[in-house]
Every structure is written in structure tokens, then in C-alpha cells.
Structure 1
């Protein structure tokens, strides 16, 4: 596809990723992409050898032009993404976080092809593996296939199938339309993609081509699970306002389900004798809660609640 390939930017976002950054960069260098690749390095003032390792890769592949953003100040993840997106000049912008990695050498090519052929989409994502490093558990986000699906903003609110920035490639023009106020609150991949999907569809390639790594060194992984759920719940009103209340009912429904999850999570501090009203509530949040949340919940809650969840999950899936 060399005559059809457009130039792209890869936004490499890193912070103290020395343990994992080589795997990310090796996978990036192995991409079979014929166009030019602008590599924008948005390091958020790492205090380890992350930047030293990144510099070792300069000159290894003539397709890559390294662009380093200022790393003298720790900006935090939201502001770091803001300046990273603004620094990218390619027609298409892919993201690679320094503790994730890609599993297919055709990832960039296939995403660029999809965006070139599908003007209904400003974002192309891929299926991915969730890798829980500490327990060596790995599983695909959805069943693998060679097909694709189109996802709306409402579907993404109900289930964040896109999962993380490392699966994403955007038209740069879509990134320039992101409202400034999105970067004034805690904004991660989920709300960024909802905002973009407000006026477009998301293309989701069902072949797994990326790995989302959950590890002890990650800021998200270190946050207690119940606190993650509460933080997400607290942000929903701001996200609702950010999207001009177009998806108000969808955010309200999600908020209701999150409150159910929080309630059931908290019973882990009680005895195994869970009341019947709570038992009746479990199937509802199992049915509506994104699989990634259930997966992480099962990793951290007490054994009694794990057993309860397992029984209900098995019962729900058999219906």
C-alpha cells in the first residue's frame, strides 16, 4: 500500500517505564509501515532511565523522526496528553503508552488503511489483550476475528471496549476538535473517545494487536479498586456537561450501575452471609458492568465475594 500510505505520528507517552519501554519500542520499530513516522516523545519527567533507553533507538530506522517534548516538569497525565496531541503533525495519530506494547507488525498499516477507506470513522481502535503482570493472567478483550465493528458513543459509554489509548489511531483533525475544557478535568481515553465519537463512529478491528498491561508500577493499578469506581462515578456529571448533556440518560444509567458495583464491593468487609436483596442486585451489575471492571474487581475483592461473583457470573452466562 506504499502509494496510498499517509504520514503518521506516533505519540509515545512515558513516565518511569524503564522496565517496559524496550518492549514497547521494539514492537514499534517492527511495524511494517511504508510511510514516514513522526515519533513524538511525551515523557512526563521520568526519574528513572526511561528517556536514556528511548534515545538508544534513535537512528535504528530511517522511517522514524524523533521529536522530544520538554520533560523538565511533571504535568500529570491529562496535561501531558494535551501537549502531546498538539505536537503531532501527521495526518493520522497513533498512541503508544510506555508500559503497553503492540503484538502485530501490521497494526499501524491496517489502522491507516481503515481510516483511509472509512470516512464515517475518525478513530480506529483494535482488539487487545489484558495482561495482569503480577499474576501472569492474559486474555483477549473480546473474541478474536478478522472482521470489524462500528461503535457509537452510546455503546462506548455502556462498555469501554476501546480500553486504552495504545489501541487507538485518530485522524489528527478529530484531535484538533477536542474542546479545551476536556483537559481541565481528569480526562483519560474513555471520555476523550466519547467526545470524538459524538460526531463520528469508532472503527474497532477485532484482531488483537495490542497489550494493555496491568502492573504494580502503574498509577491506575495502584489505586484501590473501590476508589477507581468512586472516582469514575464522581466524574460522570463533568463528562455529561462536557458532552452537552446529549448522553445524559446513558451517563445516568451508568452511574446507577456503578453505585451497585460499589455497594456490592463494600460487602466484602462483612460476613459471608450476604443478604438476599444484595444477591438479587448482583446479576444486574454483572450484566451491565464492562468486562474489564469485573476482571479487575475479581482480582482484589475478598475470597467470599470472589466466590459469590463466580457463582453469579457462571449462572448469568448459562442463561
Structure 2
């Protein structure tokens, strides 16, 4: 039987989490054959040791892809893609995991019955790095794109995927053929999952399953989210990140011959507003194109926006205090739950 799905899992210093990820792959109940590829990027903890133990136990199912030197997330993902033998690729990073044993079967059933569907995704549960529940990770993440979540299974075009912005990486299954000849700019992007889902959906359409079938861990040390939060505290690095995200949209717009220009221009606003703010071009926010975004912020959001501009230190202290208080509440909830 040919391999239908390759589960691609990149991992680095995930000794506390990688077993959860692998066990969630092993529990999948399918009527097709799948393989598990673990891209271990020279971790400094016991991640490789844990993965190797699983490879020894399941040599026909799990393959370890590694090297002598750390290559970074992008190249790690690329080498897994190159080694994948499946028609479809399912993604899950080493600090996330799946919670539905029929996740893959549900997604592949739909994609096989609808060949024009080139990427499929779903909702997720959010937990902190200590595995404490935080809530449901609605698609999309940001309040600015909430109107593009319809509370039901839905077909999304590539332009609508740009408007959704973030989706849980561990929810993605895509047709490998869609990325067989990727444009060069994807290798220079600040993140890999954004251009992936845009390009894949432009080859057909994306299908959203309104079910919670995976867990997204927030705040894990070294994760993209944690790294972004750290860099966002440095104004120069924040400005670079914002420009890089805008660059992805511009590159994709050019790649698709401006077929989705209307949606992509709206998607850029999400990154342009904070960029204008932090580059001291606040007067440009009076432009009509930013009106809807600013109106959606409401009083609370606008207060945060202008505090970050006029009183950055106060805003930073307030944000840090809020995170600490939230962490205390999470710890209290855990104590209550555990008795």
C-alpha cells in the first residue's frame, strides 16, 4: 500500500513535549498508510534521545531526519518536505499535538472526495507551556479577522486565507504537489507557514473543518510566538518583522498576478497600522483604508494603540503586568483542578 500521508514534525529542544506529539500521531486511526518524519535540529536537551527511542520501537513507521549542525526551522521543514513520500503532508511542530484519533481520516476523506481542495485545516485548543488550558484557538486568531470565521465548515479562497491570517499549524494538511516548485521568495520569508497556506490554497481552495482536533501550545521557549514576543519588545526588530510580513503579502500578490489584490490589500492593513505607528507616521493613519481597522479596535484597543505610541514604557509595563497576572490565574486554576 502506498503512503498516503507524511506527517512532518520539526522539533528543537522539545524534550517536555515531543512524546505527546509522537503519541498523537501513533493514535491516528486510518484506512490508509502514513509515515512519520521527525526533523530533529540538533537539540541541546534530550529531544533526540526521546525521538530515537521511538524510531527504534517503530522503525517501519518513524524516520529521524537530522544533521550534524543546527539548520533552523525553515531548512528543517524543507528537508522534511524533500524526504516525504506521501501524496499529502500533515504538519505538527514538536511542541503541539493532536487530540482527535480520526483527525487525519476526516481531512483526507474530504480532500480525496474533493480533489480541487488543496489544503485543509481546523480549529484547536490553546494551552500554555505547562499544559494548562487557555481556551479555544478560533480561526482566525486576531479580533480584526473574526468576521471571516463563520462558525461552520467553509471553503476559503487564497485571498480569504490571507484575511484569516494565522491558523493553527498543527491543523494543516496539504497536497504535496502544490509546493513541488515553490517560488524562490518563500525560502527568504520570515515564516514558512504563511506562504505555504497561501500558495497551496491558490492551487485550488482551502477547506476549514469547524472542529477542535489539535492543541496549540502558547509561550513555549524558542517557539515562533515566544521569539516574536521577545523581538517585539525591541522596536527595530519589531519594525523589521512587520515589514517582512508585508513582504510576504506583496510577493504572493505578484506570484498570483494580482488575482487576489483586493483581499491582500485588506490583509496588509493589519501589519501596516503598527508599522506606521512605530515608524512615527501616525498622521497616515487618517487614510480611509485604515478606518475600518481602527473602528474595530474599540475604545480599549485604541487606548492600547496610542499608549504604545505616546507612552511606550508605560504600555510595556502594563502588558508585562497583565501577562504575570494571567499566569497567576492559570496556576490557581491548575491547583483547583488538581485538588
- Normalising by structure 1, we get a TM-score of 0.75
Determine the structure 1 residue equivalent to 2:5: 8
Residue 54 of structure 1: CA displacement?
0.9
Aligned counterparts of 1:146 and 1:6: Cα–Cα separation in 2? 33
* Among 89, 95, 101, the residue aligned to 2:91: 95
Distance change (3 Å), C-alpha of 1:75 and 1:233: same
Aligned counterparts of 1:109 and 1:305: Cα–Cα separation in 2? 42
Residue 167 of structure 1: CA displacement?
0.9
Aligned counterparts of 2:244 and 2:165: Cα–Cα separation in 1? 16
Determine the structure 1 residue equivalent to 2:186: 182
Determine the structure 2 residue equivalent to 1:18: 15
CA contact (8 A) 2:127 2:216 kept: yes
Distance change (3 Å), C-alpha of 1:233 and 1:7: closer
Residue 87 of structure 1: CA displacement?
0.9
The SS at the match of 1:129 is strand
CA contact (8 A) 2:13 2:43 kept: yes
CA contact (8 A) 2:27 2:101 kept: yes
* Among 115, 135, 147, the residue aligned to 1:139: 135
1:100-249 to structure 2, matched below 5 A, reads: 100-133=96-129, 136=132, 138-142=134-138, 148-160=153-165, 163-220=167-224, 221-223=226-228, 224-225=231-232, 227=238, 228-249=241-262
Aligned counterparts of 1:124 and 1:94: Cα–Cα separation in 2? 9
* Among 30, 33, 36, the residue aligned to 2:30: 33
Aligned counterparts of 1:24 and 1:156: Cα–Cα separation in 2? 26
Aligned counterparts of 2:94 and 2:295: Cα–Cα separation in 1? 32
The SS at the match of 2:21 is helix
The SS at the match of 2:174 is strand
Aligned counterparts of 1:27 and 1:66: Cα–Cα separation in 2? 13
Determine the structure 2 residue equivalent to 1:258: 271
Determine the structure 2 residue equivalent to 1:43: 40
CA contact (8 A) 1:134 1:215 kept: no
The SS at the match of 2:29 is coil
Structure 1 unmatched ranges of 5 or more: 268-276, 289-297, 308-319
Residue 306 of structure 1: CA displacement?
10
